[in-house]
């Protein structure tokens, strides 16, 4: 098959390209090339999707399958699907598309956000922009494969939202974790998602799915990560959520944060129903394997590096001291 990956140089899109190559497919990666290199064996087609003539080099081609991971731009998704010819189209969306992120359930039972393709993008409009992009794709490809991905983890993750935990636990000592008894934990390993995307391309799978693995209590998830990566004698110190908030520790991401922890208004982001995706062929590996491989990747970058998410050693000690 002739596969076009719109991207192909960073995390998920690069993993998709590598997966396609491993299956013997011809792979083209359309990207600026500024985020990294296309995998060995793939052809990089220099493409700036912000330019009006972005797809001129691709218009005369016909692809068996296209995979688009456009993160925020409705225009990117709309123009690509209109100008590039393909038998199968995958668009990677997000579980952030739902209006109500406080309750769990299947995607069929929840209403997506209102899509306004002309609204200015802000971080608060991420989910709505993904809805608009989904609709733009389906206007051209009614049988598109739409994957609403949850938290994507594994080697190559640039966000630090998962890698923080195996990296921190590998250092041992007292590790601050949120005592969020009513929160679920959920993720999808990037390699498993890439494999499913390529299965869908080969089988012409269509439909909209929450692309996520099975859910479990967050405390159990953190315990499994510790079991796979923590140094001997490591102690997980559970801090009540109200105390974390009082100490200005923020959920999910960013400076002075605890990744995987979510505010009550967003708890269902990690409590989606994985059943339909699993029934449609998604296969997930054990969490411990993702944790071990993520730790190896973190060690390659440097365990003590500056991070986009998590607590610094000083911040963590402040929390432990305040907790007594």
pLDDT tens digit string along 147-185?
999 999 999 999 999 999 999 999 999 999 999 988 999
DSSP codes joined into one string, 231-263: PTT-EEEEEEHHHHHHTTPEESSEETEETT---
- Which neighbouring-strand residues pair with 85? 62
**Bigger pLDDT: 36 or 89?**
89
What secondary structure letter does DSSP report for 148? E
Kindly report the average pLDDT of the chain as a whole number.
92
Tell me what pLDDT residue 271 has.
87
What is the pTM for the complete model shown?
0.93
pLDDT per residue over 42-98, tens digit each?
999 999 999 989 999 998 899 999 999 987 778 899 999 999 999 999 999 998 888
C-alpha–C-alpha distance, residues 152 and 154, integer Å: 7
Taking residue 34's Cβ as centre, other Cβ atoms within 10 Å add up to: 8
- Grade residue 288 by pLDDT with cuts at 50, 70 and 90: very high
- Grade residue 269 by pLDDT with cuts at 50, 70 and 90: confident
Residue 161 in contact with residue 211, Cβ under 8 Å?
Answer: no
Give whole-number Cα distances, 93 to 76, 112, 201, 237, 312, in Å: 13, 12, 16, 35, 32
Query: Who contacts 87 (Cβ-Cβ below 8 Å, separation ≥6)?
Result: 63, 64, 65, 204
- Grade residue 109 by pLDDT with cuts at 50, 70 and 90: very low
- Grade residue 236 by pLDDT with cuts at 50, 70 and 90: very high
Residue 87 in contact with residue 63, Cβ under 8 Å?
Answer: yes
Average pLDDT, integer, range 266-289: 93
CA dihedral 256, 260, 266, 271 (to 10 degrees): 180
What secondary structure letter does DSSP report for 98? B
Question: Domains of the chain (ranges plus CATH)?
Answer: 2-149 (3.40.50.720), 164-185+216-267+286-323 (no CATH)
């Amino acid at each position: 098959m002739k596969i076009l990956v719109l991207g192909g140089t960073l995390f998920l899109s690069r993993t998709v390209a590598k997966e396609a190559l491993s299956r013997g497919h011809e792979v083209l990666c359309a990207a600026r090339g500024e985020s990294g290199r296309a995998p060995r064996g793939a052809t990089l087609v220099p493409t700036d999707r912000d330019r009006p003539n972005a797809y001129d080099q691709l218009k005369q081609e016909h692809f068996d399958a296209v995979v688009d991971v456009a993160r925020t731009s409705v225009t990117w998704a709309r123009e690509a699907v209109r100008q590039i010819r393909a038998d199968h189209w995958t668009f990677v969306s997000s579980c952030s598309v739902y209006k109500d992120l406080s309750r769990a359930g299947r995607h069929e039972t929840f209403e997506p956000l209102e899509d306004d393709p002309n609204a200015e993008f802000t971080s608060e409009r991420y989910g709505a922009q993904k809805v608009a992009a989904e609709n733009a794709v389906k206007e051209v490809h009614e049988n598109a494969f739409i994957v609403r991905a949850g938290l994507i983890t594994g080697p190559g993750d640039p966000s630090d939202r998962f890698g923080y935990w195996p990296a921190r636990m590998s250092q041992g000592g007292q590790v601050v974790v949120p005592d969020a008894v009513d929160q679920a934990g959920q993720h999808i390993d990037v390699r498993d998602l890439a494999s499913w995307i390529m299965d869908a391309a080969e089988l012409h799978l269509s439909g909209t799915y929450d692309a996520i693995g099975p859910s479990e209590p967050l405390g159990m998830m953190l315990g499994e990560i510790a079991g796979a990566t923590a140094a001997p004698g490591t102690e997980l110190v559970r801090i009540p959520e109200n105390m974390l908030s009082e100490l200005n520790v923020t959920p999910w991401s960013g400076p002075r944060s605890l990744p995987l922890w979510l505010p009550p208004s967003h708890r269902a982001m990690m409590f989606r129903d994985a059943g339909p995706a699993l029934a449609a062929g998604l296969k997930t590996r054990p969490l411990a394997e993702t944790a071990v491989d993520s730790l190896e990747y973190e060690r390659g970058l440097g365990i003590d590096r500056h991070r986009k998410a998590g607590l610094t050693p000083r911040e963590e000690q402040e929390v432990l001291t305040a907790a007594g």
